[in-house]
Amino acid sequence: MTTAADLPDIDPAIAPSGAGCVECDAAGGWWVHLRRCAACGHVGCCDSSPSHHATKHHEASGHPVITSFEPGEDWFYDYRTDDMANGVDLAPPTSHPLDQPVPGPAGRVPSDWQAQLG
Ligand SMILES: [Zn+2]
Ligand SMILES: [Zn+2]
């Protein structure tokens, strides 16, 4: 039986799941910033986004470490310690495409998105 404790915190061989949040892309949603699960490659939206899918993925999977999926950012975060964590070089790409806007994706961000985030 596999438990959360058996899962690797970070698997550098696994590529990210895609260019956008998995759940938002499935539901037609939008996000502010993207986070990548360092254990399985799941790309989810940040806690400033409407749906918080990166944190929901952590809660559902037990995967403890995320890294930024934003261009130019290379930090890692560990939910267990609520602190920044040491990372490793992960399989590319390490961010969403540079031409993908923030917030994103193009065409799905409401014009009053700042008001919606309240
Ligand atoms: Zn999302
Ligand atoms: Zn994961």
Centre of ligand 1 from the C-alpha of residue 1, in Å: 30
Q: Which ligand is nearest to the CA of 30?
A: 1
Cβ neighbors of 103 (< 8 A, separation 6 or more) are 30, 31, 32, 33, 49, 109, 113
17-35: average pLDDT? 98
- pLDDT value at position 52? 98
pTM: 0.92
The residues whose Cβ lies within 5 A of ligand 1, an ion, are 21, 23-24, 45, 51, 53
| Residue 116: φ, ψ to 5° | -65, -30
Centre of ligand 1 from the C-alpha of residue 43, in Å: 8
- pLDDT value at position 8? 76
Q: Which ligand is nearest to the CA of 62?
A: 2
Give residue 4's pLDDT band: very low, low, confident or very high (50, 70, 90): very low
Sign of CA dihedral 103, 66, 94, 21: negative
Q: What is the pLDDT of residues 46-99, one digit of tens each?
A: 999 999 999 999 999 999 999 999 999 999 999 999 999 888 999 999 999 999
- pLDDT value at position 7? 57
Give the domains, in start order, of the chain with CATH numbers. Answer: 7-86 (3.30.40.10)
